[in-house]
Structure 1
Amino acid sequence: MLDLRRLRLLCEFARRGSIAATAAALGYTPSAVSQQLAALEREAGTALLDRTARSAELTDAGRRLALRAEDILNMVEAAEAELSAESGIPSGRVVVTAFPTAAVAFAPAIARSLADHSQLTFVLRQTGPGAGLAQVQSGEVDIALVDDWTGALAAQVPSTLQLIHLCRDPLVLVLPPWHPMADPDEPLDLRELRDEPWMAAPPGEPSRQAVDRLLETVPGGPTVAWEFEGLHTLLNLVARGIGIAAMPALALVGGGAPVAVRELPGLDIAREVYAVARAASVRRPSVAVTLRAIYAAAQDATPPARS
């Protein structure tokens, strides 16, 4: 009989493409992954990996089994969710991963919502860009909070995952409270801010790409003079008068820094924020109640627009 844990390893190997990447994703050593896949080959009675001294790839049989394994694991999880739904009591451990601004903005409201469920253990982790979907697929986490600046994510999510839209998070201009443009009655013209010291996240960060799009709209546009890791770091620097920045409005929730916030005139640069879970798991009471808490937290945390 084929071992379910080894089938999950095979699926992860199919997604990651190497034993080292599979081991890193699941927290195993490469030798442990290799041994478990070899054991799965013995159970299957055929070679699943074509190994060389430097690499390994799936054989035709390995690819076929990996596809079947995805279906098998989803069916097992759906069956477990149905059995769990019979009790209707949220219990057990639910692991959620989130990009940093969502983790900070949503955590207090989620914790308050779940406080009454004494049999539920809630774990919230932060993750880097692009990691959430893979972690949900691999079973590392139950729910991921992900953001999308491109508008293309919904079409890319496989049918085994369920995507729940939480909110739209616009890019806003953040200024020191004493800045002349901080006055909401003052018309905002970005051309007048060309010589200001602009700050942003490093290149490659999703929010930096949005800022670059913004600055490209300004004739003779300004350039980013300072780069700092972390939107809350930027927020505190703006509050101290070091410079100005454009950032997603969600970064202002729970930040505590005294800044002025202005909408960006005539521009629609924003990210969509989603929760994603395995479709087979959403009937489990623990996952369902956590998704409801996340959705409510997102509605409460979305800051009102200020001009």
Structure 2
Amino acid sequence: MLDLRRLQILREFAEHGTIAATAQALDYTASAVSQQLSTLEREVGASLLDRTARSAELTDTGRLLAEQAEQILAMVEAAEAALAAQTDTPRGRVTVTAFPTAAVAFAPRLAQSLRRHERMQLVLRQAMEGSGAHKVSTGEIDIAVVDDWSGLRPDDRAGKLRHTPLLRDPMVLALPQDHPLADPARPVELRALRDEAWIAAPHGEPSRQGTDRLLAEIGGAPSAAWEFEGLGTILSLVSRGIGIAAVPALALASGSRGLAYRRFPEDAPSRDVYAVTRASSALRPAIDVTLRALLTAAREVSEALADTLEREGAGGALPRAGTEPPGGGAHPSA
């Protein structure tokens, strides 16, 4: 009988490629991973890894078993979800990761919505940009709140993942409260802001894509633009009068003081925000109720941000939660 935990370790090795990376992903020691894989080799009666003094790679048998392990583990999870659905009672631990601005915005609403389900436990963590969908795919977490600036259809990895659209998050202008353009009666003209002191995320950070697209029509960001990592740091500098910044509207949820926000008059770049889950866990009541809570939180956050910008800036409203991002996406079961 093959041990499911060892199959999961093999699958992780196939994903990460090294013993060290597999150990880090699973929060194991490298020696523990190596021992478990050696035990699995004895169970199947074949070599799964070609080992050298400095590296290891899958044999043909190892690759075959890793592919089968992917299917076996998905089927086991689907069976467990189907059995859990028979009780119709959300229970167990649900681990959610979110990028920082979404974690700050959604956490209070998620806690309020899910606290009545006494048999389930919510664990919400902040995650590095771009890692959420991968961690859902490997089973490390249950749900990831991710952002995407491409406007393309999300990669569901051959039906393994489901992307539930939460909201569309446009760029807005962040200003010190005493900046002349903090007055909502004054129009925001992007070209007139070309010579302002801009603060932007470094190249390679997702939000920098939005800033670069926004400023492309006026020649791009000034060469002297300040670059700082993290929206929290950027907003702190703006509040101190160091400069101005284009940030996703979700940043308003941080409640940072000393700031004013204005809409851009043109169609500003935006990111699509999704909740990513495994298709095999869809029937699990705790997953379903958490997805519903995320959708409710996204709608409430979207409405709150729109109201804030309605007071501080002129013209139009933010896209409301439930606006379908390009490429569509899956929704939780009815």
Secondary structure of 2:43's aligned partner: helix
Residues in 2 aligned to 1:126 and 1:283: alpha-carbon distance in whole angstroms:
25
Which whole-Å deviations, capped at 9, do the CAs of 1:190-213 have from their partners, x for residues lacking one? 222222111122222111222122
Cα distance, 1:249 vs. partner? 0.4
The question of whether the paired residues in 1 share the 8 Å contact of 2:212 and 2:220 is answered with: no
Which whole-Å deviations, capped at 9, do the CAs of 1:201-252 have from their partners, x for residues lacking one? 2222111222122222213752453222321222232222221000100111
The question of whether the paired residues in 2 share the 8 Å contact of 1:199 and 1:224 is answered with: no
Aligned to 2:198: 198
Aligned to 1:20: 20
Secondary structure of 1:125's aligned partner: strand
Aligned to 2:147: 147
When residues 221 and 134 of structure 1 are mapped into structure 2, their CA distance, relative to the original with a 3 A threshold, is: closer
Residues in 2 aligned to 1:145 and 1:256: alpha-carbon distance in whole angstroms:
22
Residues in 1 aligned to 2:60 and 2:117: alpha-carbon distance in whole angstroms:
47
Secondary structure of 1:97's aligned partner: strand
Residues in 2 aligned to 1:57 and 1:151: alpha-carbon distance in whole angstroms:
36
Cα distance, 1:156 vs. partner? 5.4
Which whole-Å deviations, capped at 9, do the CAs of 1:143-169 have from their partners, x for residues lacking one? 111111112351354411111111101
When residues 166 and 11 of structure 1 are mapped into structure 2, their CA distance, relative to the original with a 3 A threshold, is: same
Which whole-Å deviations, capped at 9, do the CAs of 1:115-135 have from their partners, x for residues lacking one? 111111110011101111121
Secondary structure of 2:162's aligned partner: strand
TM-score between both structures, scaled by the size of structure 1: 0.95
Equivalences for residues 26-37 of structure 1 within 5 A: 26-37=26-37
Deviates most, 190-199 or 160-169: 190-199
Residues in 2 aligned to 1:295 and 1:133: alpha-carbon distance in whole angstroms:
18
Cα distance, 1:41 vs. partner? 1.0
The runs of 5 or more residues in structure 2 that have no matched partner are 315-334
Aligned to 1:51: 51
The question of whether the paired residues in 2 share the 8 Å contact of 1:148 and 1:273 is answered with: yes
Residues in 2 aligned to 1:219 and 1:94: alpha-carbon distance in whole angstroms:
46
Secondary structure of 1:212's aligned partner: helix
Identity score, percent: 59
Secondary structure of 1:237's aligned partner: helix
Letter paired with 1:48: L
Letter paired with 1:88: D
Cα distance, 1:180 vs. partner? 1.9
Aligned to 1:9: 9
Aligned to 1:176: 176
Residues in 2 aligned to 1:144 and 1:299: alpha-carbon distance in whole angstroms:
17
CA RMSD of aligned residues (A): 1.6
Residues in 1 aligned to 2:170 and 2:2: alpha-carbon distance in whole angstroms:
48
Aligned to 1:285: 285
The question of whether the paired residues in 2 share the 8 Å contact of 1:215 and 1:222 is answered with: no
Equivalences for residues 15-94 of structure 1 within 5 A: 15-94=15-94
Letter paired with 2:79: A
Secondary structure of 1:155's aligned partner: coil
Secondary structure of 2:218's aligned partner: coil
Q: How many residues align?
A: 307
Letter paired with 2:37: L
Deviates most, 84-93 or 190-199: 190-199
Letter paired with 2:274: Y
Residues in 2 aligned to 1:255 and 1:181: alpha-carbon distance in whole angstroms:
20
Residues in 2 aligned to 1:224 and 1:115: alpha-carbon distance in whole angstroms:
48
Residues in 1 aligned to 2:151 and 2:53: alpha-carbon distance in whole angstroms:
42
Letter paired with 2:23: A
Aligned to 2:317: none
Residues in 1 aligned to 2:80 and 2:221: alpha-carbon distance in whole angstroms:
56
When residues 174 and 157 of structure 1 are mapped into structure 2, their CA distance, relative to the original with a 3 A threshold, is: farther
Q: Would you say 1:135 and 2:135 are equivalent positions? A: yes
Aligned to 1:209: 209
Q: Where has structure 1 moved over 3 Å in runs of 4 or more?
A: 155-158
The question of whether the paired residues in 1 share the 8 Å contact of 2:142 and 2:287 is answered with: yes
The question of whether the paired residues in 1 share the 8 Å contact of 2:156 and 2:163 is answered with: no
TM-score between both structures, scaled by the size of structure 2: 0.87
Secondary structure of 1:188's aligned partner: coil
Letter paired with 1:12: E
